[in-house]
Structure 1
Amino acid sequence: MYAIVDIAGKQFKVTQDQFVYAPLMAGEEGASVEFGNVLLIGDGDNVTVGTPGISGAKVAGKILGHVKGDKVIVFKKKRRKGFKKKNGHRQDFTKVQITGITQ
């Protein structure tokens, strides 16, 4: 069984016992979270599509920690002007383990 769920504006295809790196969420390590905006549920040949969401469907998860992504280097340069600028950025994520999908 799998589901497509909207977490903080991003869509993820999740299955039970899967780890997802979602955008930063409020909550402590070990806290349980529930996502109610389920867009699609598939179970073998049976696929239920919401319009836009499936009423009553929920995806439960557990917060495992708050982590940072890989560093992205942003380098800007204008030729013949002597202008160079180098910046780095690391995005914050929340690691969530999916514990269950209910329909």
Structure 2
Amino acid sequence: MYAIVKIGGHQYKVAEDQTIFVNRLSSDDENITLDEVLLVKDEKGKVKIGKPTVKGAKVEAKIVEHLKADKVMVFKKKRRKGYRVKNGHRQPITQLQIEKIS
């Protein structure tokens, strides 16, 4: 069984007992419910597609921790001008454990 959910403007394919990393969620609760379920496929192979969301479907997840992603280097240069700038960026992310799809 899997579902496609919308979290923070991005779509993720999730299954039960799966760990995913999403953009930082501002929720202080340990458990969250994701209501924007776009597609659900059950064990029998039956697929329900939402218009735009599947009515009554929800995904329950647990916030494991808030952390930062790997560093991305940003390097800017203009040739023959002596201009070089090197910056780094670490995106804040949240680790989710998918517990139940219903």
Task: Give me the TM-score of the superposition, normalised by structure 1.
Answer: 0.94
Q: CA deviation at 1:55?
A: 1.1
Return the letter of the residue paired with 1:33: I
Cα deviations by residue, 1:9-30 (Å, 9 ceiling, x for unpaired): 11000000100101101234x7
What does residue 40 of structure 1 align with?
A: 39
Shift of residue 45, structure 1, vs aligned partner: 2.2
Q: Give how far 1:56 is off.
A: 0.9
| Runs of 4+ off more than 6 Å | none
How far apart, CA to CA, are the structure 1 residues paired with 2:69 and 2:45?
Answer: 36
Which residue is 2:75 aligned to? 75
How far did residue 75 of structure 1 move? 0.3
Map of 1:13 onto structure 2 = 13
CA root-mean-square deviation:
1.1
Offset of residue 36 of structure 1: 0.2
State how far apart, in whole Å, the 2-side matches of 1:45 and 1:25 are.
32
1:85 maps to: 85
Whole-angstrom distance in 2 between the partners of 1:7 and 1:27: 13
What is the TM-score when the length of structure 2 is the normalising length?
0.95
Sequence identity (%): 49
Aligned match of 1:60? 60
Matched, 1:95 2:75: no
Matches of 2:61 and 2:19 in 1, distance apart?
Answer: 9
Give the number of equivalent residue pairs: 101
- The letter for the 2-side match of 1:41 is V
Could you list the runs of 5+ residues in structure 2 that have no partner in the other structure?
none
Residue identity opposite 1:71 in structure 2: K
